[in-house]
Amino acid sequence: MRRRTLSNDHVAKRGDILEDARQTFALLRRRDQTVNLVLVALTDGVEVELYADGEFRRRLRFLRDSEARKYMDRLATKLEDRGFARERSSR
């Protein structure tokens, strides 16, 4: 029996991640640094990306949006306790 295989064009690589949406959750500023918390929705989960002064610092993966938002809220509160102030949204 011959085994049927798909060509590489039809197989998605695990490394290929497609974003569904991206949202800035909080922008926190202090005299010497700016921190940006970004929520990234993926097909199979949610990621939180942390940027400090425009440089990517860390990526955390969550299965649920609610857990990622709780984490970001706790992190933003911790940063506010360290002297950061939330940037007011213009919405």
Q: What is the pLDDT of residues 37-53, one digit of tens each?
A: 999 999 889 999 999 99
Cα distances (angstroms) measured from residue 15 to each of 59, 60, 63, 78, 91? 15, 16, 17, 33, 35
Q: What integer pLDDT is reported at residue 83 of this predicted model?
A: 95
| pLDDT, position 88 | 72
Residues of the chain whose pLDDT is less than 50? Answer: 6, 10-12, 90-91
**What is the end-to-end Cα distance of the chain in Å, rounded?**
63
Distance of CA 11 to the CA centre of its chain: 26
- Report domain extents, the chain: 18-85
| pTM of the predicted structure, to 2 decimals | 0.72
E strand or H helix at 34, and its extent?
A: strand 33-42
- Quote the pLDDT of residue 90: 46
